[in-house]
A = this chain, B = another copy of it.
Amino acid sequence: MEEVRKQLCEWIDKNEHKAVRLLKKTVQERSIYANEASAQAIMIEKCRQLGLMIDIWEPDIKQLKASPYFVSDRKSFKDSPNLVAIKRGRGGGKSMILNGHIDVVPEGDRSQWSDDPYSAVIKDGKLYGRGSTDMKGGNAAMLMALQALTECDVALKGDVIFQSVVDEECGGAGTLAALLRGYKADAALIPEPTNLKIFQKQQGSMWFRITVRGRSAHGGTRYEGISAIHKAISVIEALSALEKVRNKRISDPLYQNIPIPVPINIGKIQGGSWPSSVADTVVIEGRCGIAPEEKAEDVKAEMAEALEKMKMSDKWFRDHPAELEWFGARWLPNSLGSNDPLLTALKNSCREVMQKEPVIEASPWGTDAGLLQEAGDIPSIVFGPGVTKAAHFPNEYIRIKDLQTAAKIIVLLLIDWCERADEEEEARWEN
């Protein structure tokens, strides 16, 4: 490894405590939906310390709503500031966006957590807490990479545009706001938890809501009514069958190790108002995966058709069709070609740091990469520390060693992609 590359990696190794301290502080802030400000404040302070050019703003809901890419159900971004912090290059190099989201999903049933979900407790080299893997760990890795450049006095030609965005878990309004504010680059990296695999392709996903009707009756004569709960079970079964059909079609070898490449997840169910009445309405909410090469509109049509088909086997649905809405969140799918220079550069850095061939896969979830690609025309890739199976889970954790590995890979990627501006200078000094 070249001297400066070694220095950068060594600095990261030596300063693990700095990464841990930063991650701990951000995990301890419960930055769920519409509540990101206190965690964002920690990111802002770190960027200020690093001497980056800071831009903080509350996304403008009117401007966002005018964009066809806006899908969040947010009414305002008051107290949900977006952060962009730029390490300006000396010119002549390619620029790179480092994009991470600061929002986390709710912790769910606290009784399933061994420790407080916001304790950021460390055990056996793992830091635990909601958001540790998705994706405050990735954010810390990016900032450690930037700090390494500063501490080792490495200057770049191209700009590095660090983004700590809000609202990713609801569909990417924070990243969209950064695009609309004019932040573009020649490439983007998003360190979502890929477990240090490279996700060359990412599936998209969309949220749906299905309202299922029944007819109420006294529970003692439940046969006089039609249970919306039982009808909702039929709808769930139909969605399960649709999921099978959709996944059988997928032959992309990048998905070969993924049990269900594009899942349909039923995440919420709610219905009925009285234990001894037959439920008249049930609402289910879920997320439907979009394969990397699919169009969102085609997926919507396919689900609508599956519900339409239910009318054939169940007369009730003919007169009381299940009502399908797409709401709240959507992540566009994304893919890079096998010879894409960004993919090649990232593979090289991975090989150099991990001393082995990186695993290339397709993601089981959506990220803001599809938006950066489609709305911003920015080639984007997803690679980061943390395991997917810990995300959105009780006892979410990140392995600190993986965070460190990611930071090293990112810093090497940056000096390759954005190019060093001080090489000639250094050469002069050495001679």
Contact = CB atoms under 8 A, between A and B. Distances in A.
A417 interface: no
A287 interface: yes
Contacts of A259: 223
Interface string A275-288: 11111111001110
Interface in A252-276: 259-260, 263, 265-276
Contacts of A227: 265-266
Contacts of A134: 218
A28 interface: no
A389 B217 contact: yes
A388 interface: yes
A131 to B, nearest CB: 13
The quantity of this chain's copies bound in the complex is 2
Contacts of A278: 265, 267, 392
A329 B275 contact: yes
Candidate in A222, A259, A285 with the most chain B CB atoms within 10 angstroms: A222
B270 A275 contact: no
Interface residues of A, number: 67
A260 B220 CA distance: 9
Interface in A69-84: none
Interface of A: 105-106, 108-109, 112, 134, 169, 203, 205, 207-209, 213, 215-225, 227, 229-230, 232-233, 236, 259-260, 263, 265-282, 285-287, 289, 328-329, 363-366, 388-389, 391-394
Q: List 9 tightest A-B contacts by C-beta distance, closest first.
A: A220-B365, A219-B265, A276-B287, A268-B272, A218-B392, A224-B389, A220-B364, A267-B275, A275-B285
Given A112-B215, A208-B275, A221-B388, 12 more contacts: A105-B277, A108-B216, A108-B281, A217-B393, A220-B287, A223-B263, A233-B236, A267-B272, A267-B274, A267-B277, A269-B272, A275-B286
